[in-house]
Amino acid sequence: MIEIQRNFYLKGLNTFGLDVFASHYVCIRKQEDLSELLESDAFGEFKHQILGLGSNVLFINDYFEGLVIHICIPGISVVENGPERVIVEVGAGENWSDFVDKMVENGLGGIENLALIPGTVGAAPLQNIGAYGVEFKDNFVSLKAFDLQTGKTVSFGPEECEFGYRNSIFKTSHPNRFIILSVRLKLSRKHQLKTDYGDIKKHLSEEGNTHPGISDISRIIKKIRQSKLPDPSKIGNAGSFFKNPILHPLVFEGLRREFPDIVSYPDENGFFKVSAAWLIEQAGWKGKRIGNVGMHEKQALVLVNHGGATGGELHQFAMNVQYSVKQKFGILLEPEVNILS
């Protein structure tokens, strides 16, 4: 039986740490709960919002007039256990970071670079989470989702998900339509480590580690992340607030003539991914604080709630940053965080 609760306090379900209430809330623990939910009065009457752990959302109002569908489906099982490859099925409500740790402890490689990313497994496909040169899609096999429009369960393979940079069809074309129930990932017993990105190699050489394993990589990545990113349990934030803009080569060349120090990386399609953190820093926002809101002093891309800010204040601050980057560089930064009203 599902229980629809009223006036539910969401402070524990948004990493900005906002004092937000939802008029209606339900926790979904198994697939069958969803058929029951579709027949409920609350589902028919109110708009709905799917939620995992709330580490990539910004509620801009103190009161969300609608139904929060919190996905709590547990379970990890092995569906294929080969000598080299293992396929694992994971419930959408499992904690991503704990799941990565479990795979690393079991000597299964592929997702160790995605260690310590907050959130649930079910939200990971939504924006194709990525870090340190690895994206969720690199190990993805398939997922099972519940279609809230038809009440049917559907399977999605890699192509149907249309994964892109911090993107998928679940974020763009069909937000809030499909509830991801479980995900299948392929992991490797003979994994090729990815150490090119960031300071991984520097840390390995400082340790004198010439034969690292997957546990070394996840440990080093956790250390780097903890030194750079604010811990949401201490300072409210949702990680990178904006995406890195991707520019056409002609646009990029024009910009580079004007700003020769611009930080960028060529992407696989011949376009240029520009560092949004650099743009924000150049526009004077790194470490800047107004009232209870600011951009973090160590990572200009992270919008922070220093304590007591409202969602409206955070949103306004982010829009001011966006405006001044547009004025200075002519680039409109796109939020990576899902803005909920």
Ligand X SMILES: Cc1cc2nc3c(=O)[nH]c(=O)nc-3n(C[C@H](O)[C@H](O)[C@H](O)COP(=O)(O)OP(=O)(O)OC[C@H]3O[C@@H](n4cnc5c(N)ncnc54)[C@H](O)[C@@H]3O)c2cc1C
Interaction residues for ligand X, span 11-50 (CB under 6 A): 15, 50
The position carrying tokens 């034969």 is 211
Pairwise CA distance, residues 293 & 61, whole Å: 16
Token pair, residue 65, equals: 């007039």
Interaction residues for ligand X, span 258-317 (CB under 6 A): none
Counting beta carbons within 10 angstroms of the beta carbon of residue 271, is it exposed (0 to 12), middle (13 to 18) or buried (19 or more)? middle
Per CB under 6 A, does 247 bind ligand X?
no
Name the CA dihedral angle for 105, 116, 161, 197, rounded to a multiple of 10 degrees: -90
Pairwise CA distance, residues 124 & 225, whole Å: 18
Segment interacting with ligand X (CB under 6 A) among 116-124, 241-249, 304-312, 316-324: 116-124
Among 17, 43, 108, 127, contact with ligand X (rule: CB under 6 A): 127
- How many helical (H) and strand (E) elements, i.e. helices and strands, does the chain have? 9, 20
Choose, from 168, 218, 240, 264, the residue flagged as catalytic.
Answer: 240
Per CB under 6 A, does 236 bind ligand X?
no
The per-residue b/e assignment along 307-331, b for 16 or more CB within 10 angstroms, e otherwise, is: eebbbebbbebbeebbebbeeebeb
Per CB under 6 A, does 51 bind ligand X?
yes
Does the annotation mark 336 as catalytic? yes
Among 33, 37, 52, 242, contact with ligand X (rule: CB under 6 A): 52
Among 21, 59, 91, 120, contact with ligand X (rule: CB under 6 A): 120
Counting beta carbons within 10 angstroms of the beta carbon of residue 69, is it exposed (0 to 12), middle (13 to 18) or buried (19 or more)? buried
Residue nearer to ligand X on the CB measure, 169 or 274:
169
Among 237, 244, 305, 310, contact with ligand X (rule: CB under 6 A): 237
Residue nearer to ligand X on the CB measure, 109 or 230:
230
- Least Å from the CB of residue 324 to ligand X: 24
Report residue 248: phi and psi, to 5°.
-65, 145
Among 42, 123, 247, 279, contact with ligand X (rule: CB under 6 A): 123
Per CB under 6 A, does 185 bind ligand X?
no
- Least Å from the CB of residue 118 to ligand X: 4
Residue nearer to ligand X on the CB measure, 115 or 325:
115
Pairwise CA distance, residues 235 & 105, whole Å: 29
Does the annotation mark 45 as catalytic? no
Size of the site for ligand X (CB under 6 A): 32
Per CB under 6 A, does 229 bind ligand X?
yes
Per CB under 6 A, does 245 bind ligand X?
no
Q: Identity (one letter) of the amino acid at 50?
A: I
Strand partners, 289: 294
Residue nearer to ligand X on the CB measure, 55 or 322:
55
Per CB under 6 A, does 8 bind ligand X?
no
Pairwise CA distance, residues 122 & 90, whole Å: 9
Pairwise CA distance, residues 300 & 324, whole Å: 14
Per CB under 6 A, does 66 bind ligand X?
no
Residue nearer to ligand X on the CB measure, 111 or 131:
131
Rounded to 5°, angle at Cα 204 from 199 and 206 = 95
Choose, from 89, 112, 166, 184, the residue flagged as catalytic.
Answer: 166
Pairing outcome for strands 21-28 and 63-71: parallel
Instruction: Report the run of H or E that residue 103 belongs to, with start and end.
Output: helix 96-105
Among 18, 21, 54, 243, contact with ligand X (rule: CB under 6 A): 54
Does the annotation mark 85 as catalytic? no
Token pair, residue 215, equals: 């546990």
Per CB under 6 A, does 131 bind ligand X?
yes
Instruction: Using CB under 6 A, list all residues that contact ligand X.
Output: 15, 50-57, 71, 92, 117-120, 122-124, 126-127, 129-131, 170, 179-180, 229, 232, 237-239, 338
Catalytic residue set: 166, 240, 336
